[in-house]
Amino acid sequence: MEKYTSCKKAIEHCISNKYFAVAYLCNEEKTMNIHIHDCYEMYFSISGGKQFLIDNKFYDIDSGDLFVINQFESHYLTKIDQMVHERIVVSIHPDFIKALSSEQTDLATCFTKRSQGSAHRLHLTAEQQKRFQYYINKITSVDNFGGDIIEKACFMELLVMINNIYMETLNLGSNVSDYKYNQQVEQIIQYINQNICEPITIEYLAKHFYLSDSYICRIFKSATGTTINKYITARRISIAKSLLSSGTSVNEVYSQSGFNDYSNFLKAFTKAVGVSPKKYALYSNS
């Protein structure tokens, strides 16, 4: 399997082939804006870095951290600047994981089992980090006879390992509240998420929290790496994708996800996801 040096190209390959793709990244690729894509993601940090905003949770990134993100969760990596930040990003099509799973073993558990307060980050031990990189190296290096079978078998073993770590973490309860924010920004994010279906403007938020427009924008961008409006839009798109995948009609979805009219919803959704809400609904429920 090819090891990509661009996360965007890996995602495109994953989605177009309904398979999985591996990207090895340092600091060459420009960080994407807050985004959502139609594949699962495993993000493994080799050298540590700055911070990760995933939905309404904000994490510091340490060496050896593994983040598991599903196709409905918006995420954004804060600006890396000139810092060397080695990481491995594995993009996985949901249909591919479904095909690999059995009645006894759902390999998508680490991406889909989300309880309130559970985190996206797994702290891998030194041995687990070595094992993760061993599987990735084997997957991206086999090219002889039977390579496709070895590639798939290694990937399945990797998924089994990650799911076991994830479920052990859930059982221990050690990933609850494994994230943090600036206290003011935490209150702002909490308010946005509790009122995401209501009209929310910067002016309203500033008035609600007794702050100036410029100050609330500045502290939010400083803490999260993105703007308030981009965050609100990404959260609404995330909710809309989830609703469409569950069979809710397009006419109901745009209001339930907080968009004030269909034209705004259509424009924002198509720009973020790449297809119209109707096409996404047809694809998700086919």
Tell whether the model's pLDDT for residue 27 goes beyond 70: no
* Span 214-237, average pLDDT: 88
Residue range 22-41: average pLDDT? 78
Domains in the chain, CATH or no CATH each: 3-172 (2.60.120.280), 183-284 (1.10.10.60)
Summarize the confidence of residues 73-87 as an average pLDDT: 73
> Which runs of E-coded beta strand occur in the chain?
3-4, 20-25, 40-45, 51-54, 57-60, 65-69, 75-77, 87-92, 121-123
Lowest mean pLDDT among 77-91, 167-181, 228-242: 167-181
Greater confidence (134 vs 173) lies with 134
**Average pLDDT for the chain:** 86
**Residue 177, pLDDT above cutoff 50:** no
Q: How confident is the model at residue 181 (pLDDT cuts 50, 70, 90)?
A: low
Q: How many CB atoms lie within 10 A of CB 15?
A: 17
Q: Measured between alpha carbons, how far is residue 32 from residues 79, 161, 273 in Å?
A: 9, 29, 14
Given this model, what pLDDT does residue 109 score?
A: 93
